[in-house]
Chain A
Amino acid sequence: MREDLQHAVKLARIELSAEEEERLGSQLGDILKYVDKLNELDVEGVEPTAHAVPLTNVLREDEPRESLSHEAAMRNAPKTSNGLFIVPKIVE
């Protein structure tokens, strides 16, 4: 797999087998070659579209809504203790 793609794999935190890495590497290479098509276009001065609808100022008032019960919030957790979501030790 190309180095720049390996960087993306690292950022995305996805463990790949050697075989997967090779296959995905070549497929992604093809796809990236295909999307280079966009370089044919002159996009100078074109505004980017981030949203499909032109809405602005969608806000909510600062009013409380009922939260989830603690039980419901934790019920899908792989590991809990003392009301906390437990993860492997964080070392900074």
Chain B
Amino acid sequence: MPHTLTISQLTDKLAQGELSSREATQSCLDRIAAVDGQLNAFISHDPEDALAQADAADAALASGKSKPLLGVPIAMKDVIAVNGHPLNCASKILGDFNSPYDATVTEKLREAGAVIFGRVNMDEFAMGSSTENSAFGPARNPWNPDCIPGGSSGGSAVAVAADECIASLASDTGGSIRQPAALCGCVGLKPTYGRVSRYGLVAFASSLDQVGPLTKDVRDAATMLGVIAGEDKRDSTNVPEPVPDYIAALTGDVKGLKIGLPKEYQVEGLDPEVKAATEAAVAKLEKQGAEVKEISLPHTQYAIATYYIIATAEASTNLARFEGVRYGARVDGASPEEMNRATRGAGFGEEVKRRIILGTYVLSSGYYDAYYLRAQKVRTLIRQDFLNAFKEVDLIASPTTPTPAFKIGEKANDPLQMYLSDIFTISCNVAGLCGISIPCGFSVSGLPLGLQLLGKPFGEPDLLRAAHAYEQATEWHTKRPKIG
């Protein structure tokens, strides 16, 4: 069953000729045919195109080529541009948009030999924490289809957890990779802001967005990061920092690594099972040789408010380009203004509308200083909290989410409650750090739980080292949901 393999397992088998990329790709396609009717992880996929790429990879393998992802089927979140593929951002507004260009990460995957297939489900324009805000219907948690898979990269997490692909590429603006990874029991890595090019990632909030992988284990996350990281002249916010060998960081040794536990993270509404699992995981790392100490992040309680002002402000103008002039599903009107209003009224879902209006409001005349400018200043304080903490510790540990996956529809009418569930993941983006979520147990009801580790800017090697060491000492990541 090649679709259940990790990247490293599959590339080994491909290299040894035990398996072809076509077989692996076909296996994923069969798996999608079998389970995706129930899970709705994929918005669309093109089997013919995927198999053609697989055949090309097989030819390259046969000629002795070796590349880090040669022949590996990777599913793409529907927010990353792939030349010749649809790009919908899980929204109605893009209509039958077909991208005429590749994102930089797409190019890098191609260069690494990946079979890039499928458009996976998400919250519309990456706005949400449950993948319920998709114009293509909600994705479902493979551990319990009545539950949400998390979001916004829900489809990516489901596709990986349910073995519909080998790995997936997604984006994280406030936890959109880590939170669904935690709720679906896979590994989700958000790189440091500026580590991975954003060119071709449809912007939600430009100063917070970052592309990262969802994978079946930590080694695969390291492999994927090694492929997608690096300088890109098309992204002014991309940091020209050399890319280290992330696989080499996976030493299994955490001796002397200092891990901080923020005292402010003992929040109201933290599920006791989640709390216990996190404590157990930290105890395990301590036993493996890490030093654990309490730290303080005094501005934690302001992170969500800060985030929602900055993210929505940026989003309100990033999404202004979707108005029916150059692309997308136009709804006609007598004037350009009427056409814009009708197009956007019909094309955007409610959460997107809510955020655009909020973002427009906080930037509008008379409110800018009170909301946007103030939030930017608090952002400075939050970032400073972390930089201070990182003078004392190498990593910060916390739960990824305050609760396991909740039921579909449970929070649909209370956006604020939904926003508050982002408490542990949001600061990482606000401060521009790197973070990872790894499986650390299950709830009594059988839902996965995630441990989040945060690292300093460009501290991915330490982050991966600790995550990998923990993973080596546990079995959580080997568990798979039973579907169908």
Contacts and interface: CB of A to CB of B under 8 A. Distances in A.
**Are A and B direct contacts in the complex by CB distance below 8 Å?**
yes
B416 A48 contact: no
A28 B354 contact: yes
B415 interface: yes
B333 A88 contact: yes
Given A34-B416, A88-B332, A53 B360 contact: no
Interface in A66-91: 68, 72-73, 75-79, 85, 87-91
B338 interface: yes
Contacts of B332: 88
Nearest to B417: A30
A77 B326 contact: yes
Contact of B237 (A7, A41, A55): A55
A88 B334 contact: yes
A52 B310 CA distance: 12
A57 B435 CA distance: 28
B14 to A, nearest CB: 34
Contacts of B329: 78
Contacts of A24: 350, 353-354, 357
A87 B332 CA distance: 9
Contacts of A18: none
B377 A87 contact: no
Contact of B357 (A8, A49, A53): A8
Contacts of A7: 361, 364
Interface in B324-367: 324-330, 332-342, 344-346, 348, 350, 353-354, 356-358, 360-361, 364, 367
Interface SS of B by simple majority: helix
A49 B383 contact: yes
Interface in B207-250: 207-208, 233, 236-237, 239
Contacts of A41: 299, 302, 374, 378, 381
Nearest to B378: A38
Given A12-B357, A34-B416, A43 B381 contact: yes
Nearest to A30: B416
B164 interface: no
A86 B10 CA distance: 49
A13 B207 CA distance: 24
A22 interface: no
Contacts of B337: 13
A60 B429 CA distance: 27
Interface string B233-269: 1001101000000000000000000000000000000
Interface stretch (B69-77, B97-105, B149-157): B97-105
A50 to B, nearest CB: 6
B323 interface: yes
Given A37-B301, A48-B377, A68-B100, A76 B326 contact: yes
Interface of B: 95-98, 100-101, 193-194, 207-208, 233, 236-237, 239, 299, 301-302, 304-306, 308-309, 316, 323-330, 332-342, 344-346, 348, 350, 353-354, 356-358, 360-361, 364, 367, 370-371, 373-381, 383, 415-416, 419, 429-432, 457
Given A7-B364, A52-B430, 5 more contacts: A14-B345, A31-B415, A38-B378, A76-B98, A91-B335
